[in-house]
Structure 1
Amino acid sequence: MKLGRVELCHFLQLIALFLCFSGTSQAELPRSRSQPYFQSGRSRTKRSWVWNQFFVLEEYMGSDPLYVGKLHSDVDKGDGSIKYILSGEGASSIFIIDENTGDIHATKRLDREEQAYYTLRAQALDRLTNKPVEPESEFVIKIQDINDNEPKFLDGPYTAGVPEMSPVGTSVVQVTATDADDPTYGNSARVVYSILQGQPYFSVEPKTGIIKTALPNMDREAKDQYLLVIQAKDMVGQNGGLSGTTSVTVTLTDVNDNPPRFPRRSYQYNVPESLPVTSVVARIKAADADIGVNAEMEYKIVDGDGLGIFMIDADKDTQEGIITIQKELDFEAKTSYTLRIEAANRDADPRFLSLGPFSDTTTVKIIVEDVDEPPVFSSPLYPMEVSEATQVGHIIGTVAAHDPDSSNSPVRYSIDRNTDLERYFNIDANSGVITTAKSLDRETNAIHNITVLAMESQNPSQVGRGYVAITILDINDNAPEFAMDYETTVCENAQPGQVIQKISAVDKDEPSNGHQFYFSLTTDTTNNHNFSLKDNKDNTASIFTRRNGFRRQEQSVYYLPIFIVDSGSPSLSSTNTLTIRVCDCDADGIAQTCNAEAYILPAGLSTGALIAILACVLTLLGRY
């Protein structure tokens, strides 16, 4: 009859236990493990327990209860007067005792990995009196291990990395298997490791589970990942041992062992001469089998006639070399450029420098293509001046533009009317001469910024733009006037010689040497007896009173004409009228009211007369 693995283990271990304990079937329980027992009125009788050593194999699958051992007291004479009882962990539910013989049996399958031992208490009683004949004693039933648990990798599956080109014996990762069997008994939990898949690239140390490289010069660029299968077997790897496996994914990490290489020895690109500065001319890329930072590039122009005209930078995302233009191209001046460009790794691994330089060069030829360019003005800005007194048709200045292409097409000029909405200026279409088309007024617009268009005669779509700033020069064509509307008052109690107003003037003109104004009273008011004027020689004048006793009832407003002359050539003048109101003032000279009284009572009209008049008015109102 064939035996299963567990049954075989049970059989072998039963034989071993029999051999171990056949000569020691009975032993005396040490007194230190017994509870003291006292009989009433007597000193304790010295007794002792005797029993077999208790070990029980786990995983017993038989149909009959499993014999554990026998309890026996030396008080028991075999006449049936003593009965045994059992208490503690698993008593009655797992372990039962024959009360007559003291034989203990296990009634259920036991698993050491669930509970390794049970602590129980035994007692011998007088069958007639049911009183103890021995102190209660404690003992342990130990569950004997069998190899019923395979090793397990609790942390698997594993992933690990090791640099490519690592020397043989470089540690990669350590795997660990655990076995739930008893590590203190036999070899059931003694594990050894072996590699089932992954040779000859890797190996594993049998005792520690440390995985190491086994081949030199493993190249990530050839193969970057390996799947290993590691086995852990108990019983020290002997036949009959249980095993478990786990997988380990090992990735070769990159090192900078590959230099950059241009796929071509030369490149050629055509660009139009009209390409704006900073535009991209070309993109080139050196190939590098490495990845990440090990494939990062630096590009530079090391030679050629395009130095200063072009530059190259690395695109950090694509690692391409981006060639850009730094100065304007001119087909008529130069039709091609040649650049020698170098690509190099940022950080080369010193171990691999012996393989050769970690850089490469290539040649880039840039062909400049001719384009039909718009006319170009000889100056970016034309400043011009013209007097505001200039007559219509006067020549202000001339602009000039030419076709930069080899065809040198004739140019025609016009004014962009969006910059000259009032059409103050004209331009000759052939010569570029600018003339006045309307009278100019500096005080309306001091500077005119106009745009002149230059078009190729053969291709009107090609238009160049020139800019003209026309400054209008001032002439003295505006007379001076009061700087503001003055509100002038004079007190009724004013004294002669008081200053009642200080005036100044403005002029819309702007003479180069600044304004100088002269103030005086007009000829017909020079000898008036009310007010006088003093020119302060600082572009201001003061108005004085010449008498006292101004009365609103007599005259409430005075009008004083003032003559103002500027210093232009020729000079201009104007007469401005200052309105002066007579006011009732307080003691501090502050005007209180400036309105004339509406009615003045006739002299000699008595109060009684006024009352009579008022009564008549009331009577008349009452009739209506």
Structure 2
Amino acid sequence: MNANPSLHSDQDRGDGSLKYILSGDGAGDLFIINENTGDIQATKRLDREEKPVYILRAQAINRKTGRPVEPESEFIIKIHDINDNEPIFTKEVYTATVPEMSDVGTFVVQVTATDADDPTYGNSAKVVYSILQGQPYFSVESETGIIKTALLNMDRENREQYQVVIQAKDMGGQMGGLSGTTTVNITLTDVNDNPPRFPQSTYQFKTPESSPPGTPIGRIKASDADVGENAEIEYSITEGEGLDMFDVITDQETQEGIITVKKLLDFEKKKVYTLKVEASNPHVEPRFLYLGPFKDSATVRIMVEDVDEPPVFSKLAYILQIREDAQINTTIGSVTAQDPDAARNPVKYSVDRHTDMDRIFNIDSGNGSIFTSKLLDRETLLWHNITVIATEINNPKQSSRVPLYIKVLDVNDNPPEFAEFYETFVCEKAKADQLIQTLRAIDKDDPYSGHQFSFSLAPEAASGSNFTIQDNKDNTAGIFTRKNGYNRHEMSTYLLPVVISDNDYPVQSSTGTVTVRVCACDHQGNMQSCHAEALVHPTGLSTGALIAILLCIVTLLVTVVLFAALRRQRKKEPLIISKEDIRDNIVSYNDEGGGEEDTQAFDIGTLRNPEAIEDSKLRRDIVPEALFLPRRTPAARDNTDVRDFINQRLKENDTDPTAPPYDSLATYAYEGAGSVADSLSSLESVTTDGDQDYDYLSDWGPRFKKLADMYGGVDSDKDS
């Protein structure tokens, strides 16, 4: 501010009756007003960069009444700029890169400086740039701050880092202006402007002739002044005597060339190889080709050293063939091996028995002839893979191995046979010439022209057979019915012997049996039942025998009914005969569960009739000390007499000391498969009142038909 502003009212007569007040931006802090004169003053130094404009409001009021004498006035105070701020760069230190060998004027980086002064007022904020350090390599544009290269062919290999100092000055660079500086660190990046170079022109290595392919022999390295991918080197063998015997690969980490063996060496054939190895850069910039070819070459000499080598077979593997019917000591073929050294030591042969555990083959140790020592079977093993060993006689440590594959050729020595077990059925209402089964055959042999089977019924079954065989000429055959209708009660099963023959030499044949069951079928030909037991017993029982069996069953049922009636009329015996005959009965149970067999006490019948105690009587509620092993009675077969079977079981139960006491019902049943008869039980007979109703036995009449497949028996002891 050039001068302090002043506020004066026309109502002010100078008698001190008016009072001036100030409000707005900075009032009372930055700005104060003299309440008597109205002069406005600044209390602090003002900075335009902090706030360029202030808005104030002033008013004159009556000192006594406090009322304004005039409307409020507004003042706008603008702060004029002075050059009190120097240019400041956006970064204290700049970092930049530029490729080496760049042309003059190549852009490097742009620096920027700002001035806080008012750019619209004078030259306080006008900045110009100049370079204080970094000539003659770099230059800067005064108005933009762009740094460029100023020297041609700057070489990174000579100098890589540069430090440039740039100055920014305001007032347009005039005298008296303020300035600021910054540092720019510039790095030259590498370009491929240097070819690889071998430090020496000739290299020499040695390797034994036994070195396998891939064995490293030595390393060579060419140097390259560049870095990164520009220093990557590829090695190659361009010419020489061992062009096809050796190879060179590049170690990507060390950039070395590794010479390796490519093929097996032989000291006796060649002792020294000369190679020309070339090193080149894979990444070449065309603009530097004028500097010359970016590659170099060196000579590599490789000397092969002699070693004592094992015998070498004439082949890497041998394949031989022999017929499976060859006799023992039949020669199959031979193998050959010799010592590759100049001494030509003699060789002996042997079979590695780990590969021929059964000693099926043998070898002549002198000439390598392979012959059989056992009979062969192609169907057991088609290929025999064995190993033959060749060993120097003068140096047994030198030996080599070779695989020998022996294929056993097929001879027709196995007859064809059914591919599976055939069991089929024919419907009782089948028509003639109806296909009921398709047959297939297999043969362990493997003829050259493939299998050709023929099918036919055996001569003994061809005449009078109820079925025919039709050969389909495709290694299958069909079984056809020969008549209309079959009766399973007359013949339930047919066994058809079928002869199968092959078409090889010598002809082999076998006979297989096809089981055909006669079954009842529905109208669609689906099998329903193949059993004829309901009408015809498997053993051929006549109708009279079946009637006799049924009469036995009826007799047994009548016996059961009479026994139940007698038991119902039996008078109950009182538990206590007289009042004096009262005794304590201590009953001990050692485990859970109920029933008379669980009670470890004396016979409760003693309480009813003490005089009836018989010491010699066998207690049936206590297991005797002697061990009675249970006797297994063979199950009744279909042809077993039912009456004998039931009597035998009754007798066994009556004499069995381990049988349960008192009332018990033992059922002996042979129901057969699929019986629909219900079971009988007398579990309710153990009730305390002893009056068991056996009227349910009268229901057996309607069930008589169901009992055709079941035979049973009831047993009870004498006390029941």
Normalised to the residue count of structure 1, the TM-score between the two structures is 0.76
Alignment deviations for residues 32-65 of structure 1 (CA, whole Å, 9 cap, x no partner): xxxxxxxxxxxxxxxxxxxxxx537xxxxxxxxx
Provide closer, same or farther for how the CA distance between residues 164 and 577 of structure 1 changes in structure 2, counting only shifts above 3 A: closer
| Pairwise CA distance, 1:436 | 1.0
Which residues in structure 2 correspond to 1:473-512 (within 5 Å)?
473-492=409-428, 503=439, 505-512=441-448
CA distance in 1, matches of 2:247, 2:318: 35
Tell me which residue corresponds to 2:592.
none
Aligned match for 2:225, one of 279, 289, 310: 289
- 8 Å Cα contact 2:244/2:262 also seen in 1: yes
Aligned length: 559
| Pairwise CA distance, 1:145 | 4.2
Question: Which AA in structure 2 matches 1:105?
Answer: Q
- 533-542 or 161-170: which moved more? 533-542
CA distance in 2, matches of 1:209, 1:608: 130
| Pairwise CA distance, 1:225 | 0.9
CA distance in 2, matches of 1:216, 1:608: 132
CA distance in 1, matches of 2:247, 2:550: 113
Alignment deviations for residues 456-515 of structure 1 (CA, whole Å, 9 cap, x no partner): 334444432222222223333334444432214455556777666565554433444555
Tell me which residue corresponds to 2:329.
393
Larger RCO of the pair (alpha carbons < 8 Å, separation 6+): 1
Aligned match for 2:389, one of 453, 458, 463: 453
Alignment deviations for residues 343-399 of structure 1 (CA, whole Å, 9 cap, x no partner): 333454555444433332222233334444432221233222222222222222111
Tell me which residue corresponds to 2:318.
382
| Pairwise CA distance, 1:221 | 1.2
State the identity %.
59
> More strand by proportion, 1 or 2?
1
Tell me which residue corresponds to 1:219.
155
Tell me which residue corresponds to 1:601.
543
Tell me which residue corresponds to 2:110.
174
Question: Which AA in structure 2 matches 1:55?
Answer: N
- 532-541 or 360-369: which moved more? 532-541
Tell me which residue corresponds to 1:55.
2
Tell me which residue corresponds to 2:269.
333
What SS does structure 2 have at the residue aligned with 1:417? coil
Question: Which AA in structure 2 matches 1:476?
Answer: N
Provide closer, same or farther for how the CA distance between residues 509 and 248 of structure 1 changes in structure 2, counting only shifts above 3 A: closer
Question: Which AA in structure 1 matches 2:194?
Answer: N
What SS does structure 2 have at the residue aligned with 1:294? helix
The answer to whether residue 407 in structure 2 is matched with residue 471 in structure 1 is yes
CA distance in 2, matches of 1:382, 1:246: 83
Alignment deviations for residues 71-91 of structure 1 (CA, whole Å, 9 cap, x no partner): 445665656565533332222
Tell me which residue corresponds to 1:48.
none
Provide closer, same or farther for how the CA distance between residues 355 and 611 of structure 1 changes in structure 2, counting only shifts above 3 A: closer
Tell me which residue corresponds to 1:360.
296
- 8 Å Cα contact 2:468/2:482 also seen in 1: no
CA distance in 2, matches of 1:537, 1:193: 108
The answer to whether residue 45 in structure 2 is matched with residue 98 in structure 1 is no
Tell me which residue corresponds to 2:570.
none
Tell me which residue corresponds to 1:25.
none
- 459-468 or 573-582: which moved more? 573-582
Q: Structure 1: where are the runs of 5+ without partners?
A: 1-53, 57-67
Question: Which AA in structure 2 matches 1:151?
Answer: P
Which residues in structure 2 correspond to 1:298-313 (within 5 Å)?
298-312=234-248
Provide closer, same or farther for how the CA distance between residues 508 and 298 of structure 1 changes in structure 2, counting only shifts above 3 A: closer
CA distance in 1, matches of 2:148, 2:126: 22
The answer to whether residue 49 in structure 2 is matched with residue 113 in structure 1 is yes
Provide closer, same or farther for how the CA distance between residues 475 and 230 of structure 1 changes in structure 2, counting only shifts above 3 A: closer
| Pairwise CA distance, 1:318 | 4.8
Question: Which AA in structure 2 matches 1:397?
Answer: G
Tell me which residue corresponds to 2:635.
none
Provide closer, same or farther for how the CA distance between residues 550 and 118 of structure 1 changes in structure 2, counting only shifts above 3 A: closer
- 8 Å Cα contact 1:378/1:400 also seen in 2: yes
Provide closer, same or farther for how the CA distance between residues 281 and 596 of structure 1 changes in structure 2, counting only shifts above 3 A: same
Question: Which AA in structure 1 matches 2:39?
Answer: D
RMSD across aligned C-alpha pairs, in angstroms? 4.0
Question: Which AA in structure 2 matches 1:602?
Answer: G
Alignment deviations for residues 566-607 of structure 1 (CA, whole Å, 9 cap, x no partner): 555444444444444444444555543333423553299799
CA distance in 2, matches of 1:69, 1:384: 126
| Pairwise CA distance, 1:425 | 0.8
Aligned match for 1:254, one of 177, 190, 196: 190
- 8 Å Cα contact 1:55/1:141 also seen in 2: no
Q: Structure 2: where are the runs of 5+ without partners?
A: 567-715
Tell me which residue corresponds to 1:437.
373
What SS does structure 2 have at the residue aligned with 1:478? coil
